[in-house]
Amino acid sequence: MVGKRVQRRRNEAALPLATSARQVDRTVLAVLEMQRSAGNRAVGRLLSRNLRVTPVDYNPESGHLIHSDVDSNALKAQIKLTKSLYNDTLTGDERGRVDTLGKLNAVAPDVPSLAVAIIRHLAGQDKGTRYQAISGQQTVLEGLIGAVAETKANKAEIKNFRQVQHMASSMSRQKGTPNTIPWANVTGDLGSAVTKLAGQLRGRNRLLAAGNYAASDRRTTPTARASNKFEGIRSPHLNKAGWIEKHDVADPEPALNAKAQAWWTRIATTGTPAQQAELFQHFPAVVGAPAPGARAITSLNVEASALSTALRQDYLSTEFSQAASTPAARISVNWARYAASSFPGCPYIEFTADQAGGVSRFVYDYVNNKLYANTHYNWVDGFNPFFEITGGPAMR
């Protein structure tokens, strides 16, 4: 029974790729089509755990990273059925090393890295001519690895992935390099969902960029300014598996706090008597400085204080705007504040995707103004599970 379940899983993992020639190498498509049944019959019953890609996902509930094991027996069978690699490229000694893949014990962050480790193994001591010759088949080898790599995706999720893959202009198996979908290729429900989310982001980002929060958004706290009443927002996205570009956001508060202190000093020394009276009521002074034990002079506290709209807006329009001097900087400050409540420095915000043509999540990179779609983070054929949508509707 266990063997049958493993066999069924392999059949799902080795489903043929999307048929568009622009998406993947033509050779890989043809090879996988021929191997889908023959290769699975040649696979041993026991799943080998000595080739691994990790991490491929992250479970926030358990806090555990998820990996994908590659059955070396299944991979050997696939390699032996691939004429361009096994028959036309490998020498006799190198074919012998195919049978020792089970001893390699290679762990890699993605399929291309694992393919390089396997090529090195097959080339043996020759790191020159033979290594280069086998490397010419790396794309084919990556397809074979992806075909037998363990996946958590079920049939419905694989189907959803195929639908989105059909729109892609390029497919990637590399960490930090998502697949690409030009906006011109986006159709149906996915197009409608992206248009809706882009419109929501555009409206919110223009509010955040303006900087006149005290006058235009008096009832929202600074940390909720970006997310307040935003339909579909879920949480910051951590990118623990590293599929999208890795970058962190510097904490904006130290620079803003310094400006808040400078603003306090300016009003305390040169403000009108009415401004000074109001300032000292909320932020008391002792010898020209905040009183010991008094409320801290931070940007967040000034912005969220009971000071009059005019006085808070004076800070936002002067010192605050000097620290966050561009619209993009003010947008980033506000999204960073939302993310910091859970994950400081996180540049990604996750949204639920409803009725989006198989896509279940969108991830917005508010620093680089990029939008990614994915089918619930499950990888298929070893591909990067994220699709970057390029050239779509404006989000700022």
Q: Which amino acid is at 2?
A: V
Q: Which of 390, 387, 391 is nearest to 165 (CA)?
A: 387
Tokens matching residue 351: 């949204």
pLDDT of residue 291: 55
Enter the pTM of the model.
Answer: 0.84
Full pLDDT tens readout for the chain, 396 residues: 444 443 433 333 333 343 333 443 444 444 444 444 443 433 333 444 579 999 999 988 888 999 999 999 999 999 999 999 999 999 999 999 999 999 998 999 999 999 999 999 999 988 899 999 999 999 999 999 999 999 999 999 999 999 999 999 999 999 999 999 999 999 999 999 999 999 999 999 999 999 999 888 777 899 999 999 999 999 999 999 999 999 999 999 999 999 999 999 999 999 999 999 999 988 876 445 555 555 568 999 999 999 999 999 999 999 999 999 999 999 999 999 999 988 999 999 999 998 999 999 999 999 999 999 999 888 999 999 999 999 999 999
pLDDT of residue 371: 98
pLDDT of residue 285: 61
Q: Distance (Å, rounded) from C-alpha 4 to C-alpha 22? A: 35
Alpha carbon separation from 285 to 67, 255, 264, 272 (Å, rounded): 57, 22, 10, 16
Which contacts (CB < 8 Å, 24+ apart) does range 352-355 have?
Answer: 352/232, 352/234, 353/193, 353/197, 353/232, 354/193, 354/232, 355/189, 355/192, 355/193
pLDDT of residue 287: 42
Q: Which of 178, 158, 162 is nearest to 170 (CA)?
A: 178
pLDDT of residue 387: 98
Q: Distance (Å, rounded) from C-alpha 205 to C-alpha 210? A: 9
pLDDT of residue 39: 39
CA torsion 267-271-272-277 (nearest 10°) is: 20
Q: What are the b/e assignments for 170-203, b being 16+ CB within 10 Å?
A: ebbbebbbbbbbeeebbeebbbebbebbbebbee
